[in-house]
Amino acid sequence: MEFIRDNFWNILVVINYLVAISAAIIILLKNINPAKTISYIIVLVFFPFLGILVYYLFGQEYRKTKIFNRKGMLNRTIIKKVNDDFELGKAEFDKIDAALDEKIKLVKLLKNSEDAPLTLKNQMTVLKNGEVKFKQLLKDLKAAKHHIHLEYYILKDDHIGSRVLDIICEKASKGLEVRLTYDDVGSSLSASSKKKLKESGVQFYPFMPVLFSGFTGKMNYRNHRKIAIIDGKIAYVGGINISDNYINSETKRDYWRDTHLRISGDAVKSLQIQFLTTWDFVSDEPLKITSRFFPELEIEDNLALQIAASGPDSNRATIMEAIFTAITTAEDYIYITTPYFIPNPQIFTALQVASKSDIDVRLIIPKDSDSWAAEYATNSFLEPLLEAGVKVYRYHKGFIHAKTMVVDDLFSTVGTSNMDNRSFNINFEINALIYDRKQSKVLKSHFLQDIKDCELVNYKQWQERPGLDKLKESFSRLWAPLL
């Protein structure tokens, strides 16, 4: 005992490095992305004790396997049952094939990898900023007749959140089926709000509850989706959470730029499927799926939409693969807006190659991020892009949170996925893939309007930025696969 007392810290250090070496061997044997492997090993070696904690929270895969095996089985069962109704006849598919040209590769990619059917009978409205979204969403919630399904990463009971909660509580008290799931890390609901939800008859569950949500902002496997479904007829998807932060008003100091979609038509069924599989997972209660969740709609418009969902319950990085395919099949231009740009090697190389091939590649990112580590990590990628001819714009009017991409006036995507490893591989995300010239041109016009509130990054001036900034970028780049 005396020896242990005299050498307590030395013993702890030895134990730390024995555990660290064991963890490093396990990481190496997994044959994961080399950059991610090196990042974890650096953390384990150079940050005693803290490195093991980081690996425990973010690096282990056994939790993923254990938690999501059941969800994956449920997904396959439910998705197959409903998606069989979406199968297009050969004549219909040939017609779409001719219209989409090279973009048909995207349709086939998702259809083959994750059973994401192409839906044709849809109507869609692009909603610019939170104040526009919530004006329409509140109206649709008040008009609900049968059920309301909400799935959000951030749900707060502030001013706008309370308005949403008041409506769904009122609807539930009148007998409507109201289901709500929110991410336990991203959201913040008071005890009184939860009591009100329960007493009114709203069924609600947090997604993967954690003990100290305030200290786990970067915890893995979070549900980053933002979905609202009303009566199986109308759906919302995009980047806007339920919080006052997302609404611009005369009294609000900071401007928030974001994009969301309002959809009606067959694509709502795909979003409904994703909600129901999540609900089955979080509630752990059997839910009888009836035809009332999937009503037949009389939609005259032909607007081709696919819903791409990805997450740790899948073996495929579906959204990343769709974005990669869109980049590599581009012929004229690629316009991307993202609040967090920490690309993996595939996307990074694809953008450089596209720009060098005389394709107009433009990227809008925030000038000032809400995360210094993410900002410096993003900046570390800019010089090679600028050298390749990519036009990089830094948004300075406020914070740009929109997650959009437009390619060749034909393909566009709006959703929850950022351009980073966390969205591509770790969190649950969902994007709408749009094959429509009219809607793509709407999103293109929004992009070109946003450029007016940006500063174009000059390549030569960027090269001359302070050395200290370059050092911070290099340090943050080491952590990029973990951010």
Residues annotated as part of the active site: 224, 226, 231, 401, 403, 408
Closest CA relative to residue 234, chosen from 139, 132, 129: 139
Residues 6+ apart with CB under 8 A from 54: 40, 43, 47, 482
Closest CA relative to residue 113, chosen from 415, 307, 275, 318: 318
d(CA 6, CA 107): 66
Which residue type occupies 211?
Answer: L
CA 95 vs CA 98, 101, 282, 427: distances in Å: 5, 10, 40, 35
d(CA 70, CA 104): 32
DSSP secondary structure letter of residue 59: I
Closest CA relative to residue 180, chosen from 122, 141, 133: 141
The pairing of strands 234-238 and 256-257 is unpaired
Q: What share of the chain is helix, strand, coil (3-state, %, to 5)?
A: 50, 20, 30
Q: Is 352 helix (H, G, I), strand (E, B) or coil?
A: helix
Which residue type occupies 430?
Answer: I
Query: How far out from the chain centre does Cα 480 lie?
Result: 17
Is the alpha carbon torsion for 314, 151, 77, 325 positive or negative? Answer: negative
Query: How many other CB atoms are there within 10 angstroms of residue 371's CB atom?
Result: 16
Sheet holding 259-265, edge to edge: 122-128, 259-265, 234-238, 226-230, 147-152, 177-183, 203-207
Closest CA relative to residue 163, chosen from 188, 130, 138: 138
Q: Is 255 helix (H, G, I), strand (E, B) or coil?
A: coil
d(CA 27, CA 30): 5
* Partner residues linked to 342 by β-bridges: 420
- Are 238 and 415 contacting, i.e. CB atoms less than 8 angstroms apart? yes
d(CA 377, CA 478): 8
Query: How far out from the chain centre does Cα 183 lie?
Result: 13
